């Protein structure tokens, strides 16, 4: 890697009901580690499945959530996650929901950031939150070490949930805008890859090929049809024990609830014209025109 590059540096810690960013201070990187980063509900689990299929040649006997933990989640304990990752002998891949300045950025790792329109994120997030069961709340709120208030149950109205999220800068989770903005700002680094949910929907085989090339992972074209099948929502739902955290046990409805519709635009029938205008104005203000346009629509950036 170019010694003249100004690599991102960690400048702060983030703690909340879900996160403890200090684990990154103890994670021992290896050359070629892959970090899948998102705000959340942007195609994270889908992308982890895609990465696993690329790295393991379309294998159907791997348990991705165990192999690829959410590193900054407070559960299970950091020591348990770090020990499990240290014991892995294959090429490792983890996920994060942190902004760039709250994690350790390694020049020798590969980073994949997945974006999605915030309105679609929020609709998926509401399904996730509304479907969480007592075990989810117990793990998130009652695991020792929580900093800040617990997370409560969502309102009955998804529109109210959206407006509280928009007005509260990501409430009751974390800031959407700073997350997107921080990763967009480093998009030109040589070990950074921007991926968009819409592009995965539009051309999954093409995106798999491009991602494999970025990762430097050989891709057998003969295996590609099977890889594409194993990365379909239907296949992932039917194999939830291998694709979904805890096999979906923390959600009413299991893996099918976690891997819900995978569709966009459901907000159009609920949000008012004023709601939509407020969101779009916030996106433009917080992200700037280029990032806001990419987040709303996707599309490959020029090389």
pLDDT the model gives residue 264: 85
Residue that has been written with the tokens 């109210």 in this structure: 160
CB 116 within 8 A of CB 295: yes
CB 236 within 8 A of CB 79: no
Alpha helices in 109-196 (DSSP H): 118-130, 134-142, 158-167, 176-184
Q: 105 to each of 101, 102, 297, how far by Cα in Å? A: 8, 9, 27
Half-sphere exposure of 205 (CA within 13 A, CB side): 8
pLDDT the model gives residue 236: 93
Tens digits of residue pLDDT in 41-64: 999 999 999 999 999 999 999 999
Tens digits of residue pLDDT in 164-214: 999 999 999 999 999 999 999 999 999 999 999 999 999 999 999 999 999
d(CA 90, CA 34): 12
Tens digits of residue pLDDT in 249-269: 888 865 555 555 567 899 999
Q: Measuring CA to CA, which residue among 97, 73, 229 is closest to residue 176?
A: 97
d(CA 135, CA 155): 19
Under CATH, to which class is 21-297 assigned?
A: alpha beta
Tens digits of residue pLDDT in 112-142: 999 999 999 999 999 999 999 999 999 999 9
pLDDT the model gives residue 303: 45
Q: 119 to each of 73, 163, 176, 251, 258, how far by Cα in Å? A: 24, 10, 11, 22, 18
d(CA 46, CA 298): 16
């Amino acid at each position: 890697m170019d010694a003249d590059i100004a690599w991102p540096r960690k400048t702060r810690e983030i703690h909340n009901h879900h996160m403890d960013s200090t684990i990154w201070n103890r994670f021992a990187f290896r050359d070629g580690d892959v970090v899948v980063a998102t705000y959340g509900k942007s195609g994270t689990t889908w992308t982890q499945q895609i990465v696993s299929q690329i790295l393991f040649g379309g294998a159907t006997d791997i348990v991705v959530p165990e192999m690829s933990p959410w590193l900054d989640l407070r559960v299970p304990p950091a020591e348990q996650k770090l020990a499990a990752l240290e014991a892995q002998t294959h090429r490792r891949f983890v996920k994060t929901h942190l902004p760039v300045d709250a994690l350790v950025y390694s020049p020798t790792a590969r980073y994949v950031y997945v974006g999605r329109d915030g309105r679609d994120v929020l609709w998926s997030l509401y399904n996730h939150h509304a479907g969480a069961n007592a075990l989810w709340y117990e793990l998130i709120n009652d695991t020792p070490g929580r900093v800040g208030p617990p997370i409560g149950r969502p309102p009955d109205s998804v529109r109210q949930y959206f407006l509280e999220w928009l007005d509260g800068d990501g409430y009751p989770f974390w800031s959407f805008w700073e997350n997107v903005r921080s990763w967009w700002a480093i998009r030109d680094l040589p070990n950074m890859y921007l991926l968009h949910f819409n592009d995965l929907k539009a051309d999954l085989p093409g995106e798999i090929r491009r991602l494999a090339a970025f990762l430097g992972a050989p891709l057998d074209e003969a295996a590609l049809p099977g890889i594409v099948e194993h990365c379909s929502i239907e296949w992932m739902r039917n194999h939830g024990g291998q694709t979904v955290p805890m096999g979906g046990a923390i959600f009413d409805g299991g893996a099918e609830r976690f891997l819900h519709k995978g569709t966009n635009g459901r907000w159009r029938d609920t949000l008012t014209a004023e709601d939509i205008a407020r969101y779009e104005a916030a996106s433009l203000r917080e992200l700037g025109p280029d990032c806001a346009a990419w987040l709303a629509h996707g599309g490959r950036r020029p090389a």
